[in-house]
Amino acid sequence: MNLQEFERVNAVKSRLLKLAAGGRCEHCGEAYPLLLLVIHEIDPRSRAETACPDLQKEVLILCPDCHFFFHARPVEESIQRELVRYRPKEVKAAMRRILCTRPRTYVPPETGDPAAIFAEMFASGALDLCLNGG
Ligand SMILES: [Zn+2]
């Protein structure tokens, strides 16, 4: 799945990633409306080479100007990875949670109690599927 497809399919996760970065460009630091911020993929080829990728290392949240600049120059991959390296620890952790959360298969409980069914759905991550439209 490429990044445009990821953003389309995972609109909620895309928004959460931008919020995790504080709604700011990770290059110039300017605050932008979330809709204008872009999730920039550093090197799409590196993701496929790693068995268990730490996906937050592969993306930067950029404003439209910086995103254009990153592609027009282009900015060296080592400089982009340096920006990721200096990303605050709590932002890295939040991005890992957002990118690595995979809902488990929903198995309904034996009981017909709606509270138990809801609790089981919530624990399995099935509600995330509901939020993301499947
Ligand atoms: Zn910027």
pTM over 0.75: no
Domain boundaries, the chain: 3-101, 103-134
What share of the chain in percent tops pLDDT 90?
50
CA of 114 to the centre of ligand 1 (A): 47
CA of 33 to the centre of ligand 1 (A): 12
Q: How confident is the model over 68-88, as a mean pLDDT? A: 94
The phi and psi torsions of 39 (rounded to 5 degrees) equal -90, 110
Query: Cβ distance 79 to 55 under 8 Å?
Result: no
CA of 46 to the centre of ligand 1 (A): 24
- Tens of pLDDT along 14-70? 999 999 999 999 999 999 999 999 999 998 676 555 555 688 999 999 999 999 999
CA of 48 to the centre of ligand 1 (A): 27
Q: Nearest 10 degrees: CA dihedral of 27, 61, 15, 21?
A: -50
CA of 70 to the centre of ligand 1 (A): 10
CA of 45 to the centre of ligand 1 (A): 24
- Residue 127 has a pLDDT of 61
- Residue 59 has a pLDDT of 93
CA of 8 to the centre of ligand 1 (A): 22
- Residue 134 has a pLDDT of 45
CA of 40 to the centre of ligand 1 (A): 11
| Cα–Cα distance, 117 to 40 (Å, whole number) | 39
What share of the chain in percent tops pLDDT 70?
76
| Cα–Cα distance, 5 to 7 (Å, whole number) | 5
CA of 126 to the centre of ligand 1 (A): 35
Query: Cβ distance 84 to 42 under 8 Å?
Result: yes
- Residue 48 has a pLDDT of 54
* DSSP-based three-state secondary structure for 33: coil
| Cα–Cα distance, 83 to 60 (Å, whole number) | 8
